[in-house]
Amino acid sequence: MQEGNISIRVDKTLKERFCNLCSALGLSTTSAFTLFMKATLREKKIPFEIAVDENQEWREKAAKNFEDMRQSVTNAGIQDLSLDEINAEIKAARKERRIQEGLEAFRQMREIVASSGAMEPTLDEINQEIKAVRYAIR
């Protein structure tokens, strides 16, 4: 029998894993590919099911979103932040949001008081409200 060569390029890790499995099965990689080719010719089809990955579209969208986020971080110049710095940024943003929400609630309360004709709150009452807001946002 005259022999021929087939040369293919594959990921190095994939090749190593495949070679290790073939070895564990007592086969050489050449024997494994020969078995595959003979089964393909005998059955006139690929000897295992090849199907569309139903999650492929979702994975592609997720990968694109991740790349978009990575690019926006790079564009903003913050790609080198440590995890502690990122967490500090998040904590500061949340605290600022709570402060703004508290101030807005305080403004609304003053408007209600003013529109009701009630007396303006005293400085002590205002300070008590501010302390309550600060306590609530900790």
Q: Where are the alpha helices (DSSP H) in 1-138?
A: 12-24, 29-43, 56-76, 83-116, 123-137
Cα–Cα distance, 99 to 133 (Å, whole number): 8
Task: Grade residue 98 by pLDDT with cuts at 50, 70 and 90.
Answer: confident
pLDDT at 52 over 70: no
Res 28: pLDDT: 92
Cα–Cα distance, 112 to 115 (Å, whole number): 5
Cα–Cα distance, 93 to 42 (Å, whole number): 65
Provide the percentage of residues in the chain whose pLDDT is more than 90. Answer: 20
Res 42: pLDDT: 92
Tens-digit pLDDT profile for residues 115-132: 776 666 666 777 777 777
Mean pLDDT of 90-111: 83
Res 30: pLDDT: 92
Tens-digit pLDDT profile for residues 21-34: 989 989 899 999 99
